[in-house]
Structure 1
Amino acid sequence: MNEEERRQARAFADLSYEGFRELAGRADLSRYQRIGFPDSLRAGREGAIFDDIRAKLPALEARRGLTVLDIGPGCSDLPAHIIEACRAQGHEIILVDSPEMLAALPDAPFIRKIEGPFPDCAPALAGLSGQVDVVVCYSVLHYVFAAGPLFGFLDAAMGLLRPGGGAMLIGDVPNASMRRRFLASAAGAAFHRHYTGRDEDPVPGFNQPSEGEMDDAVLLSLVARARAAGVDAWVLPQPPELPMANRREDLLLRRP
């Protein structure tokens, strides 16, 4: 990652729903930058990300005629992979995002677009309670965490899952605790020097609050919240070839 991409990563760290709307309309940005990533973290990598998504949500390609919901799909290659999988399997897919992001995605009879942030757009999802087979929410949850309320988002999404196996992947969740553990290792120190371009070791900062960041406590509280609501939930690792596997994890939920 060069200095310009490091600058972009810092600028993208604090985006809001309105901030993403502004990025989506900028013709001077790549499709990856419009979703808040430097090119080096997504260009040529979204096929591998999709492979991981479909491995964790096997119903997406193993079954036909499902109802699929993608919360915050953005406008890069990843939603194109998901949309194509839905077309091939005869699924209906519902895309929830800003008008600007949705305008960059294709229109087709099996695609339904709903404008607005989730769960504020819940009235447009009326009738889907307990009717959704697969929910994908990728690289979104940390922005929800910043805007709040996190449990309200989770509860609304879980309420859409179909009993008997409806599944949701909340993917690519930053974990400050995981990042600290990584930076405390020799591999993490080498990564830090390469990333920053400076010959200095990182300071992991154990035993201090993760102010403004998601950490083990936040992720595990979401697992506990889901399980208390009658939904099975697990924290899963990302495969090592994904761009941020050393500091991000996935949450998988399934309604029995």
Structure 2
Amino acid sequence: MAVFDDIGYDDFRRMATDDSLSAHEKIGFPDAYREAHEAAIFADIQSKLTRLADRSRNVLDIGPGCAGLPRLLIDLCRQQDHSLVLIDSPEMLAHLPDASGVTKLPGFYPNCDEALQPWIGRFDAILCYSVFQYIFVEASFWKFLDLSIQLLAPGGQMLIGDIPNVSKRKRFFASDTGVKFHQNFMQTTEVPQVDFRAVETNKIDDAAILGVIMRARAQGCDAYWLPQGEALPMANRREDVLIVKP
């Protein structure tokens, strides 16, 4: 089973109510890509989104889904006395536990900006993990970025994590390491075909990520292009962006 690519918000709403799917499949991943990796993924998130280690902060999770990562975040926020806002479809949010200090906000980010007006300038940490690729296709990703920066408090951090970068993927599969990875994973002797000149519609590439970084910097934020930890399941073809409001 492959990672779902050509799906959107309404598809995820439907998948959330499909009892034949596992929690990981409901958010677009085969079980093998997430089941044994969530602790390592969350540790990688914490190493970058360092405001999570503070006490009594405001935290926003954009598109948490319904698998293990938001539950780890809910537990951490309870331990650190954070206020946590979760934004996703009502169908996804229904799978997550209700807890003190947790606010569930149903809607499609960033098109729920009116509901977020009371939070402008108040979030110390914003997480958007494995979600940006869908926003990139379905919504204005400039609106996504602009609203997110407005929501950040002074000193606040935003991690746009697990971004599938087609440019990085091509570089990997054009390498000797990538060829061996492909052959071992697919149990084949075939060499993956890579065309660096091909334009892949609706896919995030180096130019799109650089655009996000430059726009964030133009709005007075620091922004960094970061690798994922090597232990993460898709670190060879996905990357993160960290935005910090001074």
Aligned residues: 246
Distance 2:140 2:187 in 1: 37
Equivalent in 211, 236, 240 of residue 246 of structure 1: 236
Report 1:54-203 matches (<5 A). Answer: 54-61=46-53, 63-163=54-154, 165-203=155-193
Query: Match of 1:213, SS?
Result: coil
Report 1:2-13 matches (<5 A). Answer: 5-6=1-2, 9=3, 12-13=4-5
Gaps of 5+ in 1: none
Matching residue of 1:227: 217
1:25 corresponds to 2:17: yes
Distance 1:113 1:224 in 2: 31
Matching residue of 1:39: 31
RMSD: 1.0
Question: Higher mean Cα deviation, 148-157 or 171-180?
Answer: 148-157
Tell me by how many angstroms 1:212 deviates: 2.0
* TM-score normalised by L of structure 2: 0.98
Equivalent in 8, 28, 32 of residue 16 of structure 1: 8
Matching residue of 2:205: 215
Query: Match of 1:108, SS?
Result: coil
Asked if structure 1 preserves the Cα contact closer than 8 Å seen for 2:51 and 2:156, the reply is no
Tell me by how many angstroms 1:21 deviates: 0.5
Query: Match of 2:23, SS?
Result: coil
Distance 2:218 2:51 in 1: 24
Query: Match of 2:133, SS?
Result: helix
Post-superposition Cα deviations, 1:193-221, rounded to whole Å, max 9, x if no partner, equal 23333321011211332322100000000
* TM-score normalised by L of structure 1: 0.94
Gaps of 5+ in 2: none
State the one-letter code of the partner of 1:149. Answer: S
Q: Percent identity?
A: 48
Query: Match of 1:137, SS?
Result: strand
State the one-letter code of the partner of 1:57. Answer: L
Query: Match of 2:202, SS?
Result: coil
Question: Higher mean Cα deviation, 69-78 or 204-213?
Answer: 204-213
Tell me by how many angstroms 1:91 deviates: 0.4
Query: Match of 1:32, SS?
Result: helix
Tell me by how many angstroms 1:148 deviates: 2.6
State the one-letter code of the partner of 1:254. Answer: V
